[in-house]
Each structure stands twice: as C-alpha cells, then as structure tokens.
Amino acid sequence: MKYIGTIIIMLAVFAGLNFFPVYASPVSAEDKEIEVMDFDTFSPRLEMDNDSVYVINFWATWCAPCVRELPAFEQLNETYSDRKVKVILVSLDNPDLIDDRVIPFMERMDLQSEVLLLDDPNSNRWIPLVSEEWSGAIPATVIYSAGHRSFHEREFEFDELEEIVLPLIQ
Amino acid sequence: MKKVFLLLLIGIYSTGLFAQGYEVGDIATDFRLLNVDGNYVSMADYEDAKGIVLIFSCNHCPYVVAYEDRMIELHNTYAPKGFPVVAVNPNDSIAEPRDSYTKMIERAEEKNFPFDYLVDADQLIYPEYGATRTPHVYLLKKEGDQFRVAYIGAIDDNYRDASAVEEHFLANAIDALLAGEHPDPDYTRAIGCTIKVQD
C-alpha cells in the first residue's frame, strides 16, 4: 500500500518533466496540430457541396491585422458551434516555422477552429482560383454556402462577420 | 436604347469596382518622395532610364525580406540596361513602427541597397497606383517624359526559395521591354503584406 504513494509521486514527477506526453498520454487539449497541404489538396474545401456555411480565412502569424481579427473568427466558430458553420483558418506561414512559431502561436491563442497550413509557393497560380478579386494581400476571407459566395480582402470584426454569415445559416 | 444605357452604367460601375489604381497600359503619375539618403526623388530624375522598376516595399514584411536579395540582384542586372529598381515604402509608421523612416535608413544600410528607397509618407502615391500589398511591382516603361505601366504583379513564382523559381515574371517582363515586346504575362499575383494605414 505504501508503494502507491511513491508511485503517484513518481508519476507526478515524470509528468512534470514532460516524459508522459511523449510516451503515453492521449493528445491533451493543449497539443495543437496543423495539417500541411498544397493547393490542390486544399481546394475541395472551397467547393463543399452541402448545407453548411464555410468561412475560410487566409492569415499568417506575421500578419498583424490577421492576428488582430482572429478572435472574431474564433468567436464565430464558438457562437455557432451547434449550427452548420465551418470556420477554417488557412495559415500561409512558412512551413519551416511550424514548430517554432505556428504551433506555439496556436497554443498561445488557444485556437479552436480548424487550422491548416497551405504550403504552395506559386501563389500566382492559386490566388485567382480562390477568387479573381484577390490581389494577394492578407487578411482575406471567403464566405460561401449553397447559393452564396463572397470574397473579402479586408480585416473583420465579429459583428461584421456575423452580419454576413447569419442569413446564410440553414 | 434604355437597356444599352443601363448595361453601360453597369459596365462602368463594375469596372470601377475592380479598377482601383492603374492597369497595364495606363500612364503612371510621377512623385516626389523622400529617399533614405535625405534627398527627394522623382521618376523624372532618372533622365537616362528606359523605365523604372517600381516596387512597393517595406522593412517588416517577411515576403519583402525574402525578396530583398533578389531586388538587389535585379537592380544590379537591369539598372545598367536602363531599368533601375526604385523601392517605395507605403506603410504608415504609426500603424507599423518597424517601417518608420529611421528604420528604413537602418535597413538600407544593413543590406547596402544599391537602389533608392523612398517613403510614401502622405500615403498618396500607393492608392493612385492601386498597390495593395508589399512587395507589389509596377514595371514602368518610359515614353518621352511619361511612364507607362507595362507589368503589374509579382517578382517571380516562388517567394520562399529563389533557387526553385520556375518563372521569373519581372525579369522576363523587363527583358521583353528591352526587346521591344510587350510582357507576357503582364499581370501576376502573389501573397503579400497588407499596406498599413492608421485606423
């Protein structure tokens, strides 16, 4: 019986030293992951044919206005989590910086929306496929649902996003 | 007849929406902007140039930083052929302190920029050109004492890795002008940093 106390203490020490996540534990709430893809893998997300509203935001950790508006997208995601609203945050960060910069940023901001990283340097090819209206500046956002598609090369506040999204929710 | 008029109106309205700033073929306005060396510079000062490689640029943007060495190389290659690079920082220095005039001087010295690096301090030039991001290139061809827009867009097709570039859009466009031809493509796009203005 006295061993149990020792084991618990040892477990606590190991956990404190961060041994545990490496070997055993299921992914905790703090472990963020990010899927990296090229444009052709990503592009079906721009054309989903169902009854959800898709809000796809292009951002990067180095882009100050993008970082400033992220909470608005997070709020949208949270507010309508039980409705058919899908927020996707598409990072355009350099994939070499995922471990040092993107993941720590996602953890610090505790991002709950789906995040993926678009790794496709030839943006001249794919920018017009996202929208003919897009010059390439970020932040930029595509909002679509059955019967609606709009593109926005601008910074959003929550109310402004909600105003566009709310009438589209089925 | 009414329908035609209506269509015409819609046409004008919709082009208006998309044609903020210059398109290829437009005459570009000259400017007088402060250079990092303390002097004011106009395009007209480049008397012997055949054109100007105008690049809206800045200090802080990672995409610009990725291209700085290529901008230097472009200038060193094409200035002797009559197409000098002229960089213009359109960002407001309060909205983005890293792009202040002082920081521009520091960056120009660090990188030993061989080209002029000007500040659009009143933020009047970039909207006229229609620049939306940094880096954003306007290749201008000199015609008499006017400058005509010949190419708008990106420097090349790979910001991340200069050695992996497949299409050197800007260099090809300058080569076309030097050969007396029109650039093809004359419009490309790239991801860049939004131009910073005060709220």
**CATH number (domain holding residue A78):** 3.40.30.10
Report chain B's mean pLDDT, rounded to a whole number: 92
β-pair partners for B147:
B28, B142
Whether A5 contacts chain B with CB within 8 A:
no
Helix/strand/coil (H/E/C) assignment for every residue in chain B:
CHHHHHHHHHHHHHHHHHCCCCCCCCEECCCCEEECCCCEECHHHCCCCCEEEEEECCCCCHHHHHHHHHHHHHHHHHCCCCCCEEEEECCCCCCCHHHCHHHHHHHHHHHCCCCEEEECCCCCHHHHHCCCEECEEEEEEEECCEEEEEEEECCCCCCCCHHHCCCCHHHHHHHHHHCCCCCCCCECCCCEEECCCCC
Three-state DSSP class for residue A62? coil
Q: What is the pLDDT of residue A44?
A: 97
A7 alpha carbon, distance to own chain's centre: 39
Burial class (CB in 10 A: 0-12, 13-18, 19+), A96: exposed
Answer for the pair B57, B137: CB distance below 8 angstroms, yes or no.
no
pLDDT above 70 covers what percent of chain A?
A: 82
Q: CA B46, CA B168: separation in Å to the nearest integer?
A: 25
Res. B2: pLDDT tops 60:
no
Residue B39: which region, alpha, beta or left (left: phi > 0; alpha: psi -120 to 50)? beta
Give the minimum alpha-carbon distance from B48 to chain A in angstroms, rounded to a whole number: 32
Tell me how far apart the terminal alpha carbons of chain A are, to the nearest angstrom: 59
Decide if pLDDT at A27 tops 90. Answer: no
pLDDT tens per residue across span B74-129: 999 999 999 999 999 999 999 999 999 999 999 999 999 999 999 999 999 999 99
- pLDDT at residue A170, rounded to an integer: 81
Do B194 and A138 lie within an 8 Å CB cutoff? yes
Are residues A20 and A46 part of one domain? no
Q: Are the CB atoms for A58 and A90 separated by under 8 Å?
A: yes
Q: What is the mean pLDDT of residues A76-96?
A: 96
Best A124, A134, A156, A157 residue to mutate vs chain B (most B CBs within 10 Å): A124
> Given CB atoms, is B188 within the 8 Å cutoff of chain A?
yes
- pLDDT tens digits for range B120-172: 999 999 999 999 999 999 999 999 999 999 999 999 999 999 999 999 999 99
* A137/B contact by beta carbon, under 8 A: yes
The residue with greater pLDDT, A33 or A84, is: A84
Best to test chain B binding among A66, A117, A123 (most B CBs inside 10 Å): A123
Residue A63 and residue A88 share a domain: yes
Calpha distance B29→B43 (Å, rounded): 9
Judged by average pLDDT, the poorest of A12-16, A33-37, A50-54, B137-141 is: A12-16
Rg (CA), chain B: 17
User: Of all helices (H) and strands (E), which one includes residue A83?
Assistant: none
Task: List Cβ neighbours of B147 (8 Å cut-off, separation of 6 or more).
Answer: B27, B28, B30, B43, B51, B52, B140, B141
Are residues A123 and B159, on separate chains, in Cβ contact within 8 Å? yes
How far, in Å, are A100, A127, B63 from residue B168 at the CA level?
Answer: 31, 18, 16
Note whether A10 and A60 are same-domain residues: no
Q: Do both A10 and A49 map to the same domain?
A: no
Joined together, the tokens standing for residue B122 give 């009143």
Same domain, A14 and A86: no
Q: Is it the case that residue B14 has pLDDT exceeding 50?
A: no
Q: Are residues A21 and A41 in the same domain?
A: no
Give the per-residue pLDDT at A3: 56
How much is the pTM?
0.83
Going along chain B from its start, the domains and CATH numbers come out as 23-194 (3.40.30.10)
Helix (H) or strand (E) holding A90: strand A85-91
Please indicate, yes or no, whether residues A133 and A51 belong to a single structural domain of this protein: yes
Domains held by chain A: number: 2
Give the orientation angle of helix B101-111 with respect to helix B62-78, to 10 degrees: 60
Amino acid A19: pLDDT: 40
In 3D, which of B56, B53, B40, B39 has the Cα closest to residue B127? B56
Instruction: For residue A38, list chain B residues with Cβ-Cβ distance below 8 A.
Output: none
- Nearest by CB to residue A124, choosing from B157, B160, B193, is B157
Tell me: do A54 and A136 sit in the same domain.
yes
* Pair A21, A37 in one domain: no
- CA torsion sign for A52, A57, A58, A59 is negative
Q: What's the rounded mean pLDDT across residues B181-186?
A: 97
CB contact under 8 A, A136 and B132: yes
- Tokens representing B68 are 């700085």
Question: Residue A6 has what pLDDT?
Answer: 52
Q: In the structure, what pLDDT confidence band is assigned to residue A62 with cuts at 50, 70 and 90?
A: very high
Domain encompassing residue A97? 32-168
State the Cα torsion A148-A150-A157-A75 to the nearest 10°: 50
3-class DSSP state for residue A57? Answer: strand
Closest A-chain CA to B167 = A122
What is the tens place of the pLDDT at every residue in A118-158?
Answer: 999 999 999 999 999 999 999 999 999 999 999 999 999 99
Question: What is the arithmetic mean of pLDDT over A38-53?
Answer: 96
Nearest chain B CA: its distance from A123 CA (Å): 5
Structure tokens at A6: 């020792």
DSSP β-bridge partners for residue A152: A141
Percent of chain A with pLDDT over 90: 79
Per-residue pLDDT tens for B122-134?
Answer: 999 999 999 999 9
* A72 lies in the same domain as A140: yes
The answer to whether the CB of B54 falls within 8 A of the CB of B48 is no
Query: Could you tell me if A53 and A78 lie in one domain?
Result: yes
Q: Are residues A10 and A67 in the same domain?
A: no
